[in-house]
Amino acid sequence: MAELKTVLTEKAAAVDNKLKELMELKSDELAPILTEAMSYTLFSGGKRIRPVLSLLTVELLGGNYQAALTAGSALEMIHTYSLIHDDLPAMDDDKLRRGKKTNHLVYGEAIAVLAGDALLTYAFQILSELEIADERQVKLINLLARSAGYQGMVGGQVLDIQAENKQLKLEQLQKLQQGKTGALLKAAVLIGVYCSDYQQDQEKALFNYAQNIGILFQIVDDLLDLTGDTAALGKEAGRDEELNKSTYPSLLGLEGAESAAREYAAAAKASLASLSGQTNYLVDLVDYILTRKH
């Protein structure tokens, strides 16, 4: 078996290629500056963790790899739109993202808002043009809409705004994070499931896995914001404290948060145990997320 790092690099490259293909918008484009602004953040060096999760999952279940690649790329567009809107002056007012100027600093606020809107809309167009059975298509569209909407990512972002300058309880923080970052990570895994002929117990096991790595991912993110530095992160470190946001380390202490991260990592691995056969790279990925440095 190839090393996880090699696999992640290969899969991320496949996602990049698919995204490039999808962003060749050809003759029906109205305003080239819009495509440029959409592509600017889409190709700013993201690790493609979400579509890679879709690919590892679809491989595990022996499903439709091409469909998962395209649907995962649509999900990456939704993730990217959320970053563009989240960085706006009225929101987190961030200047740096992956070591580059944020979208609105390059294209202005109006185009940044519209580039986000267009990425979100295009994601649903891509899903509606996916080559897979209609019934699966509808299921995937429903999954992404529910994960990205008022009951998922956008709902979590609103909670995040309301939480500034407030001390949250742990369960409030978890509710916020499960919307803001957890929902799309879960959707990433479920894309892999829904592009396969899956058994219900497989869906359940992978759902639990996704739930656990969603929380793990966020705890590590909070720890990195606290202990990392701007150069390594590619975004300003210490922003959570600056914005007075509740985080896992602020609620649990540094050691408490580190210990929680290890617990969720163990739970994620345990979720996979019930799956018969190979669990391929999804197990190794847990340690990768636990020990990531940016």
Residues that bind a second copy (CB under 8 A): 25, 28-31, 33-35, 38, 81, 85, 88, 90-91, 108-111, 113-114, 116-118, 120-122, 124-125, 127-129, 134-135, 137-138, 141-142, 144-146, 148-152, 154-159, 161-162, 175, 179
Enumerate the H helices of 129-182 as residue ranges. Answer: 134-148, 153-163, 170-177
Between vectors from CA 47 to CA 88 and to CA 214, what angle results, nearest 5°?
80
Provide, rounded to whole angstroms, the least separation between the CB of residue 139 and a second copy: 8
Give the H/E segment covering residue 219: helix 200-227
CB of 81 to a second copy, least distance (A): 8
Element (DSSP H or E) covering residue 96: strand 96-97
Q: Of 70 and 271, which CB lies nearer to a second copy in the complex structure?
A: 70
Q: How far apart are the first and last CA of the chain?
A: 26
Instruction: Identify which of residues 184 and 272 has a Cβ nearer to a second copy in the complex.
Output: 184
Shortest Å distance, C-beta 195 to a second copy:
16
For a second copy, give the closer residue by CB, 90 or 170: 90
Report the residue number, 85 or 97, with the smaller CB distance to a second copy.
Answer: 85
Question: Could you tell me the two tokens for 51?
Answer: 């579509």
Written in H, E and C, the secondary structure of 21-74 is HHCCCHHHCCCHHHHHHHHHHHCCCCCCHHHHHHHHHHHHHCCCHHHHHHHHHH
Question: 187, 147 in Cβ contact below 8 A?
Answer: yes
Shortest gap between Cβ of 75 and a second copy (angstroms)?
A: 13
Tokens 């540094």 sit at which residue?
A: 254
Closest to a second copy by CB, 28 vs 255, is 28
| Residue 131, number of CB atoms within 10 A of its CB | 9
User: Which residue lies nearer to a second copy by CB, 12 or 154?
Assistant: 154
Please, which residue, 123 or 268, has the CB nearer to a second copy? 123
For residue 76, CA distances in Å to 2, 15, 19, 69, 99 come to 25, 9, 9, 10, 19
Quickly tell me which residue has 């739109």 as its tokens.
81
Give min distance, CB of 122 to a second copy, in A: 5
Shortest distance, CB of residue 120 to a second copy, whole angstroms?
6
Contact 237, 102 (CB under 8 A): no
Tokens found for residue 42: 């889409």
CB of 275 to a second copy, least distance (A): 28
